């Protein structure tokens, strides 16, 4: 296959992976699709600790999704944390489970599996002592400290359902999630740290509770020890409540389908959706994909530099690596602090063997030049990974050539919050790679491409990416709104899971993700709904209507562009834009910023009043000639005005 890069020797050497060659992939993938029950029951029985082993694989499926939701391993009973923690007390008690580096370089903590077990048990006991029980929802709003992972595991251990809220979210976003999940408990910390700054997590929690109500307990981990406001009726220090608790705790055994966590993610309409993952299926899938894709070895130091507030952190910092008994890295800081050499400095100091990051970070670092990379010894690296957005060929080349010196393989992993784990990706020791392609489906995953008319496309083609059968890591529902789940994922193409992504399949059967085809924008790998922005903008009395779309951005992948129809004459545009961005920041969070504002006379609407977003999107993408048929517009002249509109960068 021309242009494809074979797997380097360093990656293949001594692999014990289930899949080590393309022949293995062919055989195992075909078997997993033909006999998914047999395949997954085998995998889960071998790798996951069950209290009662399941005898059933998949129950129900996409064909009957409208009548009843599917289940995996439904007659099995377990607690996912037994696989993550207890299981390793026998074989690797003194192995480092969590390796943490703080905001300042060299500030390091190492927590062994024995210590992790004791700390998770202690905190589980503390939660139970405060009346938290199986099925309760608990919000975790913390920065990147090991206690965030401990809090997640402790909730899961007692059968409670955690919902981690990314530390960059605003009080209003936290409040929305408290209300939607019906949580009574929040676990937070005094302050987070990031790039030399502090993040007032406790203060924001207080503000969120003032909006949402309903919270009777706030547990606060002390990190910076700066003073915080205190409410004696409600607030408890983490270190005080664990003081007298035992380091032993018997995990609460639940059914395989018992919810493990809720994680909110943006969709194309309305409020963020609470994606519900389950104990049995999720832990099986994340453990399997983690060890298979990255070709995990016992002495690996696995570094995923995501945040636990997103799905990547859940699946590949916490659950997958710990279930596999890996040493998993947690990072409090940013790739540019104190300078652009931070990642490579840590590779040298900690000996990372597998390094997993987002294309945004790669582009930002590549722009700073190669010297920051060359300064440090990176010979420990074997596998480099990317996730979260399409990677452009230049960034891929740089990662491959400069960071990996052509001795590492790159796994470009495609997946989503909804899929729980990686679905389309190279398998490190097996798959020849090519920059920009996520390559081939993992076992159990059957991608299909459809055209806009809903027809299945065969062979080389481009279309809507669907998955045709269920896999264990899939979300089961949207919390409190199963109809929305069916509507969002199973109505575009009947009886198929629709991903929201566009995709091309080449002559070798390799998949190339082209990006979202719905109204989700992906800024630096952070998913945001255009509707969320629009709802906020029109709250301003200055704005009559707003249309928000993504546009290509050199570093962030996508930037945010807002088309505004004014309600009144504006004297000072600059300050209007600043105030609108402040509003987005307050409502969503620090990561929600509009980069470009354009004032237009009217939104492009059909005669029935529906906004033709395609027109805005094509203008923003700099391809107005590709906007297609505009004959159904009520006022076709508006298109010219939109193309010619004055734009303001902020
Ligand atoms: C995008 C992140 C191209 C995609 C794990 C998907 C990707 C969305 C890739 C999910 C990739 C993720 N190549 N695009 N390797 N990985 N995406 O839920 O548009 O935060 O639908 O999950 O990110 O984002 P989410």
Task: Copy the structure tokens of residue 301.
Answer: 């130091």
Closest CA to 513 of 421, 412, 385: 412
pLDDT, residue 266, reads 86
Given a cut of 90, is residue 272 above it in pLDDT?
no
Ligand 1 center–CA 422 separation, angstroms: 10
- Give Cβ neighbours of residue 9 (< 8 Å, ≥ 6 apart): 407
Question: What is the percent of the chain where pLDDT is above 90?
Answer: 92
pLDDT band at 143 (very low <50, low <70, confident <90, very high): very high
Q: Which fold has domain 520-649?
A: GMP Synthetase; Chain A, domain 3 (3.30.300)
Residue 267 pLDDT greater than 80, yes or no = no
The angle that helices 530-537 and 573-587 make with each other, rounded to 10 degrees, is 120
Q: What is the mean pLDDT of residues 284-292?
A: 98
Ligand 1 atom nearest residue 386's Cα: 15
pLDDT of 76 reads 98
HSE of 492, CA atoms in CB hemisphere, 13 A:
22
User: Per-residue pLDDT for 404 more than 90?
Assistant: yes
pLDDT of residue 2: 72
Q: How confident is the model at residue 628 (pLDDT cuts 50, 70, 90)?
A: confident
What is the per-residue pLDDT for 569? 92
Q: State the pLDDT confidence band at 629, using cuts at 50, 70 and 90.
A: confident
Query: pLDDT category, 414, cuts 50, 70, 90?
Result: very high
Does the structure show a pLDDT above 80 at 221?
yes
Nearest CA to ligand 1 atom 8: 416
Ligand 1 atom nearest to CA at 499: 21
Q: How far is the CA of 384 from the centre of ligand 1 (A)?
A: 17
Q: Distance (Å, rounded) from C-alpha 261 to C-alpha 132?
A: 15
CATH number of 9-499: 2.40.50.840, 3.50.7.10, 3.40.50.12780, 3.40.1390.30?
3.40.50.12780
* pLDDT for residue 632 is more than 90: no
pLDDT-derived band at 86, boundaries 50, 70, 90: very high
**Are 437 and 512 in contact, with CB atoms under 8 Å apart?**
yes
Residues 182, 215: Cα–Cα separation, whole Å? 9
pLDDT at 631: 86
Give the mutation target among 263, 363, 415 for probing the ligand 1 site: most ligand atoms within 8 A of CB.
415
Is the pLDDT at 104 greater than 90? The verdict is yes
Mean pLDDT across the stretch 594-615?
A: 91
Atom in ligand 1 nearest the alpha carbon of residue 526: 20
Residue with CA closest to ligand 1 atom 15 = 414
The domain limits of the chain are: 9-499, 520-649
Question: 277 CA distance to ligand 1 centroid (A)?
Answer: 17
Out of 27-36, 41-50, 380-389, 523-532, least confident range: 523-532
Quote the CA–CA distance of 174 and 211 in Å, as a whole number. Answer: 9
Mean pLDDT for the stretch of residues 512-531:
91
The per-residue pLDDT for range 157-190, each reduced to its tens digit, is: 999 999 999 999 999 999 999 999 999 999 999 9
Indicate which residue's Cα is closest to atom 11 of ligand 1: 414
Whose CA is closest to 362, among 332, 329, 393, 320? 393
Mean pLDDT of all residues in the chain? 96
CA–centroid distance, 389 to ligand 1, in Å, is 5
Between the CA of 509 and the centroid of ligand 1 the distance, in Å, is 20
Residue 354 Cα to ligand 1 midpoint, Å, equals: 20
Residue 485 has pLDDT above 90, yes or no: yes
Q: Predicted confidence band at 71 (pLDDT cuts at 50, 70, 90)?
A: very high
Contact indicator for 137, 163 with CB cutoff of 8 Å: yes
Give the ligand 1 atom nearest the CA of 412: 15
Residues within 6 Å of ligand 1 by CB: 265, 310-312, 387-390, 412-417, 438, 499-501, 513, 515-516, 522, 527
Counting ligand 1 atoms within 8 A of each CB, the residue from 308, 358, 514, 522 with the most, and so the one to mutate, is 522
Q: How is residue 602 annotated by DSSP?
A: S
CA of 511 to the centre of ligand 1 (A): 13
Give residue 202 CA to ligand 1 midpoint distance, Å.
30
What residue owns the CA closest to ligand 1's atom 10?
Answer: 416
CA of 524 to the centre of ligand 1 (A): 11
Sequence-distant (≥ 6) Cβ neighbours of residue 160 within 8 angstroms: 127, 132, 133, 134, 135, 136, 137, 138
Quick one: pLDDT at residue 646? 76
């Amino acid at each position: 296959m021309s242009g494809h890069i074979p797997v380097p020797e360093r990656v293949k050497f001594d692999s014990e992976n289930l899949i080590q060659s393309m022949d293995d992939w062919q055989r195992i993938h075909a078997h997993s699709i033909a006999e998914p029950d047999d395949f997954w029951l085998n995998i889960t029985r071998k790798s996951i600790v069950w209290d009662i082993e399941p005898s059933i694989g998949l129950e129900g499926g996409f064909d009957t999704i409208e009548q009843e939701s599917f289940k995996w391993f439904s007659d099995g009973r377990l607690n996912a944390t037994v696989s993550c923690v207890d299981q390793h007390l026998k074989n690797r008690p003194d192995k480092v489970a969590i390796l943490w580096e703080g905001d300042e370089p060299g500030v390091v903590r190492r927590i062994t599996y024995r210590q992790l077990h004791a700390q998770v048990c202690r905190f589980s006991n503390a939660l139970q002592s405060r009346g938290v029980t199986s099925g309760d929802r608990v919000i975790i709003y913390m920065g990147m400290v090991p206690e965030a992972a401990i809090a997640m595991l402790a909730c899961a251990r007692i059968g409670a359902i955690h919902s981690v809220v990314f530390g960059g979210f605003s009080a209003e976003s936290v409040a929305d999630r408290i209300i939607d999940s019906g949580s009574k408990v929040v676990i937070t910390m005094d302050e987070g740290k990031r790039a030399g700054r502090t993040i007032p997590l406790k203060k924001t929690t207080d503000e969120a509770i003032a909006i949402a109500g309903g919270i009777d307990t706030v547990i606060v981990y002390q990190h910076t020890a700066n003073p915080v406001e205190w409410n004696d009726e409600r607030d408890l220090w983490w270190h005080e409540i664990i003081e007298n608790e035992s380091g032993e705790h018997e995990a609460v055994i639940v059914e395989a389908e018992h919810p493990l966590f809720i994680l909110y993610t943006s969709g194309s309409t309305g409020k963020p959706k609470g994606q519900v993952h389950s104990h049995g299926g999720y832990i099986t899938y994340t453990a399997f994909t983690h060890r298979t894709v990255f070709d995990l070895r016992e002495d690996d130091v696995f570094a995923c530099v995501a945040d636990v507030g997103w799905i990547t952190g859940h699946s590949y910092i916490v659950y997958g690596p710990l279930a596999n008994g890996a040493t998993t890295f947690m990072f409090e800081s940013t790739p540019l602090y104190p300078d652009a050499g931070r990642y490579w400095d840590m590779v040298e100091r900690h000996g990372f063997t597998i390094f997993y990051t987002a294309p945004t970070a790669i582009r930002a670092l590549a722009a700073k030049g190669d010297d920051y990379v060359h300064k440090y010894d990176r010979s420990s690296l074997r596998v480099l990974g990317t996730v979260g957005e399409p990677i452009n060929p230049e960034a891929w080349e740089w990662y491959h050539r400069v960071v990996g010196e052509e001795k590492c393989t790159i796994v470009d992993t495609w997946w989503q919050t909804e899929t729980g784990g990686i679905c389309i990706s190279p398998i490190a020791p097996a798959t020849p790679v090519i920059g920009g392609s996520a390559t081939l489906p993992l076992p159990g995953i059957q991608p299909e491409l459809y055209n806009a008319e809903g027809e299945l496309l065969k062979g080389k083609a481009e279309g809507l990416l669907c998955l045709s059968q269920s896999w264990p890591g899939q979300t089961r529902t949207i919390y409190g709104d199963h109809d929305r789940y069916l509507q969002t994922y199973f109505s575009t193409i009947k009886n198929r899971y629709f991903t929201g992504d566009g995709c091309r399949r080449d002559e070798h059967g390799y998949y190339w993700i082209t990006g979202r085809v719905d109204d989700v924008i992906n800024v630096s790998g952070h998913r945001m709904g255009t509707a969320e922005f629009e709802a906020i903008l029109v709250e301003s009395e200055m704005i009559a209507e707003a249309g928000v779309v993504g546009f290509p951005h050199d570093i962030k992948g996508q930037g945010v562009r807002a088309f505004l129809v004014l309600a009144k004459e504006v004297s000072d545009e600059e300050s209007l834009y600043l105030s609108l961005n402040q509003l987005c920041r307050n409502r969503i969070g620090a990561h929600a910023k509009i980069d470009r504002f354009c004032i237009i006379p009217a939104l492009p609407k059909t005669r029935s009043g529906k906004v033709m977003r395609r027109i805005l999107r094509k203008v923003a993408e700099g391809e107005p000639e590709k906007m297609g048929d505009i004959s159904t517009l009520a006022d076709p002249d508006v298109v010219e005005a939109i193309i010619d509109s004055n734009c303001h960068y902020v």
